[in-house]
């Protein structure tokens, strides 16, 4: 059981206040976008001044345990983050495992340095990811069902859209074929024509919002609410990135507003962009991102199109599963976030004054405090106190660690494991 010192990422979209406020610090002079807790070689955390990836490589059986070492070698298979978005992240998707292996090998053969700005594949791993909101969190995640998208596009009453709506085939075997056709057409039209289309959509969107807001309150339904919300976001994105491909992409995606504790899961190939908010994110241990817009960073639309899946998602949110009946929980409340992959499990634990939770796993774990103050104590009586924004590394060889509130009336702890 050791304090895990995070790596800090200062991307331009980050917040100067969210992560500092979580940690009880004054606002930062520069954006603080992410804190990384893990062993990704590009920016590993440290324990006692040593890189976590090197600590694991030196004693994989002790650090990872037999099961995890057998499945993943000397690599911690997940990366845990705190993410703070003051501005939208890029419109992006992540590759599958097979796509990542092929792309990484291809770019190596081409002689592109891993640190190069035009590099797509930083490693050979996939990057399915889960984000749990700590504050209200706005995300665009996965293609919206085509029926609802058509409802929005028709409500815009935008003549410039009619040509693209007419290209949709009612006899298509699956709506994914139409989503693919529409999206790939939009992202490949000439820049001048694209900007004209977006300008027309923005104008139509402003009129639609005005019409919806003018309707009597008792006639306002959920459809009206989501249309106005989504179009406000589209218009705002165009203000930040005028005429950008990502503005068109935002018209096709689910827009979700998470409350604290709610979560979204994104599998390989899912088009998405986080818009604003603070959250805890966990993913397979990778930094592979294919970008399509809404960013000053390298954009590779052809490569993005290769990895995208066009299956629509009715609801990208993950249903929390309460774990309060488990024997390891003594008064504490806990929730898990079921996902269809093996690299990670994430639990959220709420501790009150007299509650405890036992942390005893056959693999490694990271315990991250996001509220209050948490005290960890092992079988030998060693104690480690975590403030919000701090995490502990629990190697597989560690015997049972007990977590409790260290000060105050309540605290919140996230447990990441394999």
| DSSP E strand boundaries for 1-51 | 2-4, 7-9, 34-38, 46-47, 50-51
Is-contact 369 413, C-beta < 8 A? yes
Task: With CA atoms as reference, report the closest residue to 198 among 246, 266, 230.
Answer: 246
Is-contact 227 152, C-beta < 8 A? yes
Angle at the Cα of 318 from the Cα atoms of 315 and 144, rounded to 5 degrees? 20
Residue with tokens 């924004």: 389
Angle at the Cα of 225 from the Cα atoms of 246 and 214, rounded to 5 degrees? 110
Q: Is 67 a catalytic residue?
A: no
Two structure tokens written together for 227:
């249309």
Task: Provide the 3-class DSSP secondary structure of residue 67.
Answer: helix
Q: How many CB atoms lie within 10 A of CB 39?
A: 27
Task: With CA atoms as reference, report the closest residue to 131 among 315, 269, 264, 319.
Answer: 264
Task: With CA atoms as reference, report the closest residue to 202 among 232, 226, 166, 244.
Answer: 232
Q: Which position among 75, 144, 291, 348 bears the catalytic label?
A: 291
Is-contact 391 80, C-beta < 8 A? yes
Neighbouring residues of 36: CB distance < 8 A, sequence distance ≥ 6: 6, 7, 8, 9, 43, 44, 45, 79, 80, 81
Q: Rounded to 5 degrees, what are φ and ψ at 255? A: -105, 120
Angle at the Cα of 302 from the Cα atoms of 174 and 124, rounded to 5 degrees? 95
Q: 161: burial class by Cβ within 10 Å (0-12, 13-18, 19+)? A: middle
Q: What is the rounded CA–CA span in Å between residue 97 and residue 75?
A: 15
Is-contact 30 48, C-beta < 8 A? no
Active site residues: 291
């Amino acid at each position: 059981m050791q304090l895990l010192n995070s790596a800090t990422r200062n991307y331009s979209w980050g917040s100067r206040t969210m992560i500092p406020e979580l940690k009880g610090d004054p606002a930062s002079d520069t954006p603080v976008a992410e804190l990384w807790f893990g062993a990704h070689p590009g920016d590993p955390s440290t324990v006692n001044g040593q890189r976590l990836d090197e600590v694991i490589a030196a004693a994989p059986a002790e650090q990872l345990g037999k099961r995890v070492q057998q499945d993943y070698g000397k690599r911690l298979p997940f990366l845990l983050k705190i993410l703070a978005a003051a501005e939208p992240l890029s419109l992006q998707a992540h590759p599958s495992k097979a796509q990542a292996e092929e792309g990484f090998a291809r770019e190596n053969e081409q002689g592109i340095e891993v640190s190069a700005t035009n590099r797509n594949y930083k490693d050979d791993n996939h990057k399915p990811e889960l984000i749990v909101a700590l504050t209200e969190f706005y995300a665009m995640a996965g293609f919206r069902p085509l029926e609802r998208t058509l409802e929005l596009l028709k409500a815009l009453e935008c003549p410039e859209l009619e040509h693209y709506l007419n290209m949709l085939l009612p006899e298509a075997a699956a709506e994914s074929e139409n989503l693919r056709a529409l999206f790939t057409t939009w992202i490949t039209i000439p820049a001048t024509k694209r900007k004209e289309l977006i300008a027309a959509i923005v104008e139509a969107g402003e009129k639609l919002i005005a019409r919806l807001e003018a309707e009597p309150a008792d006639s306002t339904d959920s459809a009206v609410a989501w249309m106005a919300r989504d179009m406000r976001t589209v218009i705002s994105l165009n203000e930040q990135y005028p005429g950008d491909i990502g503005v068109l992409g935002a018209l096709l995606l689910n827009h979700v507003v998470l409350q604290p504790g709610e979560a979204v899961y994104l599998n390989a190939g899912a088009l998405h962009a986080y818009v604003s908010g603070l959250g805890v994110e966990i993913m397979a241990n990778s930094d592979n991102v294919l970008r399509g817009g809404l960013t000053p960073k390298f954009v590779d639309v052809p490569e993005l199109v290769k990895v995208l899946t066009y299956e629509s998602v009715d609801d990208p949110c993950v249903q929390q599963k309460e774990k309060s009946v488990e024997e390891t929980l003594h008064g504490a409340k806990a929730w898990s976030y079921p996902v269809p992959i093996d690299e990670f499990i994430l639990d959220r634990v709420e501790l009150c004054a007299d509650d405890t939770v036992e942390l005893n796993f056959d693999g490694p774990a990271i315990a991250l405090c996001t509220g209050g103050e948490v005290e960890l104590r092992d079988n030998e009586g060693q104690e480690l106190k975590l403030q919000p924004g701090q995490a502990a590394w629990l190697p597989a060889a560690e015997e049972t660690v007990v977590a409790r509130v260290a000060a105050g009336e309540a605290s919140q702890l996230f447990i990441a494991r394999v």
